[in-house]
Amino acid sequence: MKQLIQRQIAEKIKQQKSKFPVIAVTGPRQSGKTTLLKQIFADYRYVSLENPDMRAFATEDPIGFLKLYDENVIFDEVQRVPSLFSYI
């Protein structure tokens, strides 16, 4: 079983959750960002825009796409749909 690395930033992210409606986590590929967020926000819905169908939906109808999700959602690979940032 893969051992999770304790990240110092985890506590800071938890603190920011109450201050901001949206938090962006950036960093190098394969550095554990998604794993960390899934661990911190285990009860949140997870949506990957790596999926071509989800990416197309978000691109073609960003308002309709965002209406599918409540406040508690992790959007992974959101940089693949840069226009979505204007609606978030």
Look at residue 32 in the predicted model and tell me its pLDDT.
86
What residues in the chain have per-residue pLDDT under 50? none
Query: Alpha helix locations (H) across 1-88?
Result: 9-17, 33-40, 52-60, 62-67
* Residue 9 CA neighbour count, 13 Å, CB half: 13
Residue 4: the pLDDT is 61
pLDDT given for residue 78 in this prediction: 95
pLDDT at 36: 92
Q: What is the pLDDT of residue 70?
A: 79
**What residues does each domain of the chain span?**
30-86
